Amino acid sequence: MTYNLMRRAFRWLTNLFTRQPPVYRTAFMEELPERLDKHLIYILGEGEYTWSAEMLCPCGCGEVLHMSLHPDGRPRWELTRHPDGTVSLSPSVWRKVGCRSHFFLERGRVRWCK
């Protein structure tokens, strides 16, 4: 009993210190739904052809970020799909207005730039 309790407390502490940022899962679709899930990055396209990536700003401001993947888009982003189902975007996403969030999306994880 006591041992179990200690083990639970220990696991809780470990989680606290090694907490990972949430991983964005990837949703492929043709049109953006009305309400966005804050743990999803939406890749809009048809089949192999993708034209944009959309996600709620990870800072929590509620803005929807649009990243054009279209070859003619300016600016445009490069989308990399990984075998584990996550995606990376390059270059970084930098909002020039509002919250001015600046981050990299790497394998579904947000890495903030300072």
User: Encoding tokens for residue 82?
Assistant: 């990984």
From the list 61, 85, 91, 111, which residue makes contact with Zn ion (rule: CB under 5 A)? Answer: 61
Number of Cβ within a 10 Å radius of residue 38: 12
Regarding 57 and contact with Zn ion (CB under 5 A), the answer is yes
Separation CA 110–CA 114 (nearest Å): 13
- DSSP strand pairing (49-56 vs 40-46): antiparallel
What character string, x for contact with Zn ion (CB under 5 A) and - otherwise, covers 16-55? Answer: ----------------------------------------
Regarding 59 and contact with Zn ion (CB under 5 A), the answer is yes
Over its C-alpha atoms, the chain yields an Rg (Å, rounded) of 17
User: Shortest Cβ distance from residue 63 to Zn ion (Å)?
Assistant: 5
**Which parts of this chain interact with Zn ion (CB under 5 A)?**
57, 59, 61, 99, 101
